[in-house]
Amino acid sequence: MSVIYRYANDIGLAQDLLQETFIKIFANLKSFDLEKGTFKSWSSRIAVNEYLQHKRKRNELTFEENLPELISDSESTMIAKLTVEELKVIIEKMPEKHRMILNLFYFESYSHEEISKLLGIKKSSSRAQLSRAKKVLESIWYKLNLSASL
C-alpha cells in the first residue's frame, strides 16, 4: 500500500490499485524466483507496474522529451540533509510526474534505462526529468522552511 500511495497520493486510488496488485501477485506467484530478489522487491515492482498501467490506460503518462538538465546528477547538499519524514512530506506536495521519477529512481532503485523503458521516454529524458524533480523538491523544501521560520 505504501509503495502505491507514494505514487498515487490518493488513498482511494491506492486501495483500488492494491487490490489489482494482489490479484496479479497471486496469479503470478509461481513465477517468483527467490534467486532473482526478495518477495518485497518483486511485489513492489508489480505494484509500480500496476500504477503505471493505470496511468497509461487513462493517457495520463506524459513526459516532455529533450529537456536540459537543470542540476548535475550528483546529490545536492539540501537533498542529502533531508530526513525520510521531511522527504515524504515534500514528495506528497510535488506534481505527479516529478513524484513518479523520484520514487522510481530513489525508492525503487530503477536505473535511468529501466525508467525510460517503463515510461516510454529516452534515457536522457529520464535524467532531465529527475533533475527537474530535484529542483521542484528543493523549491518546495525552501518554501516549507521559510514558512516554518516565520
Residue by residue, pLDDT tens for the chain (150 residues) are: 989 998 888 999 999 999 999 999 999 999 999 998 899 999 999 999 999 999 888 887 766 555 444 444 444 566 667 777 777 788 888 888 888 998 899 888 899 999 999 888 899 999 999 999 988 988 888 888 755 544
Domain 66-150, second-level architecture: Orthogonal Bundle (1.10)
In angstroms, the CA 20 to CA 44 distance is 13
Is 68 strand, coil or helix? Answer: coil
Task: Report the distance separating Cα 104 and Cα 130, nearest Å.
Answer: 10
DSSP 3-state assignment of 110?
coil
- Distance CA(98)–CA(130), nearest Å, equals 7
pLDDT value of position 96: 87
CA nearest neighbour of 92 among 2, 9, 1, 4: 9
pLDDT of 72: 46
For 23-46, b/e burial (b = at least 16 CB within 10 A) is eebeeeeeeeeeeeeeeeebbbbb
Q: Taking the model in full, what pTM does it have?
A: 0.70
Residue 74, φ and ψ in degrees, nearest 5: -70, 145
- Taking the C-alpha atoms of 54, 60, 65 and 70 in order, what is their torsion angle to the nearest 10 degrees? -90
Domain ranges for the chain, please list them: 1-61, 66-150
Q: Say which amino acid occupies 130.
A: L
Q: Return all residues near 7 (Cβ < 8 A) that are at least 6 apart.
A: 48, 51, 96, 99, 100, 103
What pLDDT is stored for residue 28 in this prediction? 94
CA distance 17 to 69: 32
CA distance 18 to 54: 12
